[in-house]
Amino acid sequence: MTDYQTARTSLGARLREIRMEAGLSGRALAQALGWHPSKVSKLELGRQTASVADLKAWAAACDVPETAAELLAMRRTLETHYASWRRQLAGGTRARQATFVDVESRMRRLRAFETAVVPGLMQTPDYARYVLRNVVALHGAPDDVEAGVRTRMERARVLEDPGKTFDIVLWEPVLYARVCPGEVMVGQLDRIAELIIRKGSMIGIVPLHIRLPAIPEHGFWIFDDDRVNVETVGAELSLTDNDAIEPYRRVFARLSQAALRGQAALRLVARARHQLVPV
C-alpha cells in the first residue's frame, strides 16, 4: 500500500470511528448530509478522498465540530503524497519549478525515466515553452510561462554538479512525440545529442525494437533511494514508503540495463531527426 493510500485509509477509519461514536448508521449519516449512502462507505474505506467541505460537514453532522481540525490535519498529511496540479500551479509555473530546485539541490542521485516528454532538466527553452503553455492551458494556471522557462533552465545547471550522479533513461517514443512544432523538436533533439556526447553514459534510450524487460506504464523520477515522484494528468504522487518505492527501483534497473548509450543512442537520435519534417 502506498503512503497516499495508507493516509487515505487512516482518514477513513477515523471518520468511521467518529460516526459510530455518534451512534449513526452510514445510511443515517448520508441522509443527514444529503449524500448517496455509497459516498459514506467509500470515504470510510479509503476509496474516495474527502474534500475539506466533506470533513467539516461530517464533524458537524456527528455533533463533534471540534474534530474538524483533526480531520483537516489528517487530510493535509494525505496531500503531501498526492498534490493536484491545480493546487500546485496556483502560484504559476515559476513557483512550481522553484520547488524542484530545492529537492534537486539536496539529492545526491537521480534516476529518471520518461515515456513521452523530454525530462525538464534536458529541455531547451523553446521546447519547455510549449510544454509549460500546455500546462497553463490544461490547468488554468497563471500565465507566467516565460518566468517558468527561465527557472527550468536554471534547474538544468544541476546536471553539472560533480557531487551528484544521474541516470536518465528515455523510451524512444520521446524522440518522436510532437509536443511542439517540428523546428523546435529539431533543436531539442540536437540538445539531447549534445548531452549524450558530453555526459556519456548518463543518458540512455530504450529502443522500440527490443522486447521490453519491464512495461513502461508511465514516467517516474527516483530521488536518492527514498522518494519517487510520479506525474499523472491531474496530480503528482510523491511516494516515500519503501514498499512503494521498491517496484520502481526494480523497473528502472531493468529499463536502464536495456537502454542504448553512447554512439548507439546517438544513432537513435539521428534517425529521429532525419525523419522529422518541420511543420
CATH assignment at residue 262: 3.30.870
Residues 188 and 60 in one domain: no
The more confidently predicted of residues 15 and 278 is 15
| Residue 184 contacts residue 128 (beta carbons within 8 Å) | no
Kindly indicate the confidence band of residue 276, based on its pLDDT and cuts at 50, 70 and 90. Answer: confident
The pLDDT of residue 2: 56
Query: What CATH number is given to the structural domain containing 75?
Result: 1.10.260.40
Kindly indicate the confidence band of residue 17, based on its pLDDT and cuts at 50, 70 and 90. Answer: very high
Residues 26 and 88 in one domain: no
Residues 92 and 211 in one domain: yes
Taking residues 60-77, report their average pLDDT: 91
The pLDDT of residue 235: 81
Q: What's the N-to-C CA distance of the chain in angstroms?
A: 46
Residues 132 and 95 in one domain: yes
Instruction: Quote the CA–CA distance of 120 and 124 in Å, as a whole number.
Output: 9
Residues 51 and 92 in one domain: no
Kindly indicate the confidence band of residue 3, based on its pLDDT and cuts at 50, 70 and 90. Answer: low
Which range marks the domain in which residue 14 is found? 3-80
The more confidently predicted of residues 73 and 148 is 148
The pLDDT of residue 91: 86
Kindly indicate the confidence band of residue 5, based on its pLDDT and cuts at 50, 70 and 90. Answer: confident
Among 46, 64, 80, identify where a domain stops: 80
Residues 92 and 44 in one domain: no
Residues 29 and 98 in one domain: no
The pLDDT of residue 84: 73
Residues 116 and 229 in one domain: yes
Among 51, 80, 109, identify where a domain stops: 80
- One-character DSSP codes across the chain: --HHHHHHHHHHHHHHHHHHHTT--HHHHHHHHT--HHHHHHHHTTSSPPPHHHHHHHHHHTT-GGGHHHHHHHHHHHHTTEEEHHHHTTT-HHHHHHHHHHHHHH-SEEEEEESSS--GGG--HHHHHHHHHHHHHHHT----HHHHHHHHHHHGGGGG-TT-EEEEEEEGGGGT--SS-HHHHHHHHHHHHHHHHHHGGGEEEE-TTSPPSS---S-EEEETTTEEEEE-SSEEEEE--HHHHHHHHHHHHHHHHH-B-HHHHHHHHHHHHHH----
pLDDT in tens, 175-225: 999 999 999 999 999 999 999 999 989 999 999 999 999 998 899 999 998
Taking 70 as the threshold, does the pLDDT of residue 279 lie above it?
no
Residues 60 and 134 in one domain: no
Residues 158 and 197 in one domain: yes
Specify the number of domains making up the chain: 2
Model-level pTM? 0.75
Residues 135 and 182 in one domain: yes
pLDDT in tens, 91-135: 889 888 888 888 888 999 999 999 999 999 999 999 999 999 999
pLDDT in tens, 235-274: 888 887 787 889 999 999 999 999 999 999 999 999 999 9
Taking 60 as the threshold, does the pLDDT of residue 138 lie above it?
yes
Among 80, 114, 146, identify where a domain stops: 80
Residues 254 and 158 in one domain: yes
Taking residues 31-42, report their average pLDDT: 95
